[in-house]
Chains A and B, each alone.
Chain A
Amino acid sequence: MIESTMINRNSHHHIAPLWLYLAIGGALLVLTAVTITVSYIDLGGWNIVVALVIASIKGSLVAMFFMHLYYDKKIYTIVIVMGLLFLSIFISLTMFDTGRRGDIYEIKSEPIKPEADFYKELPPADSLDQTGHSEH
């Protein structure tokens, strides 16, 4: 059987070859291993950046090949890019507030309540529970 890119004559749907799906799946697994490994290296503020870049590469692979954006009409990509654009507006303008309170007038801005009341009723944390599984 010839496993190459072909067009179904009746419906003009694009059929991707088997190896492509397997290769993308493999790449996603490798990238998962990479992102886990990198998370154990201390890169300071860059850890989150690296994690998000790798996640975005994985996400793009899924969207482009599993979800066929690479072959399909551009409009679908535009729809999704619009969503990401407006989501980034939401995040950035909201964080512009939460990160910059008290910038103009010198009102000290701090967490509204560093410790919620109910923590006082909990038993003291003398025997720090060591059930955490990952050691960083």
Chain B
Amino acid sequence: MSHSKDRPSYLAHHFSDPAQQSDSAKLGMWIFILTEILLFGGLFVAYSIFRAWNPDMFYNAHKFLDVKMGGINTVVLITSSVTMALSIRSMQLGRKKQTIGFLVATLLFAAVFLVIKYLEYSHKFHLGQLPGKFYTFTGVKGNNPHIFFSIYFVMTGLHGVHVIAGMTVIVMMLVRTMRNRFSSEYYTPLEMTGLYWHLVDLIWIYLFPLLYLIG
């Protein structure tokens, strides 16, 4: 409060300079990413154990996942990561219009991802490949294939929830960018959104081979 003259408007009162503020945000964000990794980690533990117990069932069941659709979704998500990174780069260079363009592109790719996911889900619902006790499909050889689909739906479902959350945050960033809240000097929230979106991509990078490409 005492030295408000040389303090930029985005600097909160309890920080002494912008670098301290943005470093704090970044460290906080990375710790948040750490918690996300452990949240998904539990599912990877369940996956590992049941796959180790029932390797043949996992192999047989995974054939019912569509590699083409999963592959396209991988490409879509990687591309959206590139556009997200570029939107931040544009803001670093002070090019607001480019930033907006790249953010919109990221949103579009995210939407495509969700649409494809929806098509995959509805196909499985149709066949009765539902999680747990709702499972009615008889075409998979091996012990308790409903467990594979339970794990598949929880993993991709939780990931899908993260995609939707990411899209929400990106929309918020889009609005803030349009309202000139960011500049080449201050774009920390945009940067944090980027980190989050890359995390969503990162998780999918592991989910895709583990679920769709069991060799």
Give A contacts to B, CB under 8 Å.
8, 10-13, 15-16, 18, 21-22, 24-25, 28-29, 32, 35-36, 38-43, 47-48, 50-52, 54-55, 58-59, 62-63, 65-67, 72-73, 75-76, 79-80, 82-84, 86-87, 90-91, 94-95, 98-99, 111, 113-116, 118-119, 122-125, 128-136
Please, how many angstroms separate the alpha-carbon atoms of A123 and B143 in the complex? 16
Q: When the two chains form the complex, which single residue of B23, B49, B81, B213 contacts A94, counting CB atoms closer than 8 Å? A: B49
Please, how many angstroms separate the alpha-carbon atoms of A12 and B195 in the complex? 19
Check A15–B209 contact: CB distance below 8 A. no
The 9 sampled A-B contact pairs (Cβ below 8 Å) are A28-B81, A48-B214, A51-B210, A66-B201, A72-B26, A116-B144, A122-B138, A129-B137, A133-B68
Query: Which residues of B are found within 8 Å of A55, using beta-carbon distances?
Result: 205-206, 208-210
Please, how many angstroms separate the alpha-carbon atoms of A47 and B89 in the complex? 37
Q: A29-B78, A94-B45 are in contact. Are A36 and B139 (CB under 8 A)?
A: no
Please, how many angstroms separate the alpha-carbon atoms of A68 and B85 in the complex? 10
Q: A10-B185, A29-B78, A116-B144 are in contact. Are A76 and B26 (CB under 8 A)?
A: yes
Check A36–B38 contact: CB distance below 8 A. no
Check A52–B209 contact: CB distance below 8 A. yes
Give B contacts to A, CB under 8 Å.
18-19, 23, 26-27, 30-31, 33-34, 37-38, 41-42, 44-45, 48-49, 52-54, 59, 63-68, 71, 74-75, 78-79, 81-82, 84-86, 89, 92-93, 127, 133, 135-139, 143-144, 146, 184-186, 194-195, 198-199, 201-202, 205-206, 208-210, 212-215
Q: When the two chains form the complex, which single residue of B37, B89, B205 contacts A58, counting CB atoms closer than 8 Å? A: B205
Q: When the two chains form the complex, which single residue of B38, B93, B210 contacts A86, counting CB atoms closer than 8 Å? A: B38
New contact pairs (16) apart from A21-B82, A55-B205, A136-B215, CB-CB < 8 Å: A11-B18, A25-B82, A29-B78, A39-B214, A55-B206, A66-B81, A79-B27, A79-B30, A79-B33, A91-B48, A99-B52, A111-B53, A114-B144, A118-B133, A125-B139, A129-B137
Query: Which residues of A are found within 8 Å of B52, using beta-carbon distances?
Result: 95, 98-99
Q: A11-B18, A11-B186 are in contact. Are A80 and B139 (CB under 8 A)?
A: no
Check A66–B198 contact: CB distance below 8 A. yes
Check B143–A111 contact: CB distance below 8 A. yes
Query: Which residues of B are found within 8 Å of A86, using beta-carbon distances?
Result: 38
Check B78–A51 contact: CB distance below 8 A. no
8 A-B pairs closest in CB distance: A47-B215, A129-B139, A39-B213, A125-B138, A51-B209, A25-B82, A132-B63, A87-B41
Query: Which residues of B are found within 8 Å of A87, using beta-carbon distances?
Result: 37-38, 41, 44
Please, how many angstroms separate the alpha-carbon atoms of A111 and B185 in the complex? 59
Closest to A49 in B: B215
Check B92–A13 contact: CB distance below 8 A. yes
